[in-house]
Amino acid sequence: MRDISVLLAEVGHGSYLSIARALTLVENDLEGSEELLRQLKIDHSVPVIGITGPPGAGKSTLVGALIHQLLSRGKKIAVLAVDPTSAFNRGALLGDRIRMSTHFNHPRVFIRSIATRGVFGGLSAKIIEMADVLRAAGFDYIIIETVGVGQTEIEISALADITVVVLVPESGDEIQHIKSGLMEIADIFVVNKSDRDGADSFANELQKVVHYQAAEIPVFKTVADKSIGVEELFDYIVGIGTKENEQQIYLYTEKAYRLIQYKRMKDIDKKALSKRLAQVCGKDDFNLYNFIDTYLGFYSS
């Protein structure tokens, strides 16, 4: 398609208007989106930094501080800020561009908010595709800020080369979560707002957990809104780079699995499913598993 080829050429030259248009095509599965993805010339050397953590940990502030560090080194940055979609009204705040307003109009910064669309894990298949669009657009770094711990943030490991888990001194209970999940995905732990009471003891406890359960996962203390400790964190991130071959195979496998899963589920309309269930779930002989078999049989026939 000529229009797609022209659009991709403009994306490759860094046109923010064309990048935004390409992201909209992909995010909404509009006509031409699949052709666009097939023609992407993706620069796999561009690091993707995943930032995750509980609400209120200061993720957006930390992202802003990291952007400042990157800009001071002449880098060009894209940010995908993932906002939660309400399970009830399907609305999303999409407010990260407001929280990052300091850099929103900078010529070397591109910020895009995206809703999770009810997908647990803080990531939808669309974010994988959108990150690849950005990797074809001449950026030096891509930062993805996820919804956070409240929505099983572990799926960020399927996308990011570097996963930064942000906690605060009041996150003492998160130590238990670390034992059951976060340790598997974190490349870096950050104790943000470390000027608060209890920050040193929490960071020390976290360091002990890291020492006994995993190798070489650093713990940094930052005060992002004052840029304290951010330069040291940034220098470490730069030193990591992209993942090694074995880790890349894992990343590609996880991406492929989620994209295949998305494509197979694409024809399932949740509203239609709910409407059909409403018609039959009150019957005495209703069985959810029989219903699912019948429903899936209808779509595969």
Topology of domain 42-258 in CATH is: Rossmann fold (3.40.50)
The pLDDT assigned to 227 comes to 92
pLDDT exceeds cutoff 50 at 163: yes
Rounded to the nearest 5°, which phi and psi values hold at 50? -95, 130
Express each pLDDT in 256-290 by its tens digit. 888 888 888 888 888 899 999 999 999 999 999 89
- Does position 191 have pLDDT exceeding 90, yes or no? yes
Domain spans of the chain?
Answer: 1-41, 42-258, 269-300
Looking at residue 237, its pLDDT comes to 92
The Cα 16–Cα 40 span in angstroms is: 16
Mean of per-residue pLDDT scores for the chain: 82
Enter the pTM of the model: 0.83
> Which residues are 111's β-sheet partners?
79
- 13 has a pLDDT exceeding 80: yes
pLDDT at 128: 87
Q: What is the pLDDT of residues 110-120, one digit of tens each?
A: 999 887 654 44
Name 83's bridge partners. Answer: 115
Q: Output the CA–CA distances (angstroms, integers) from residue 236 to 64, 66, 68, 165, 206, in the order listed.
A: 17, 12, 16, 14, 18
Residue of higher predicted confidence among 159 and 87: 159
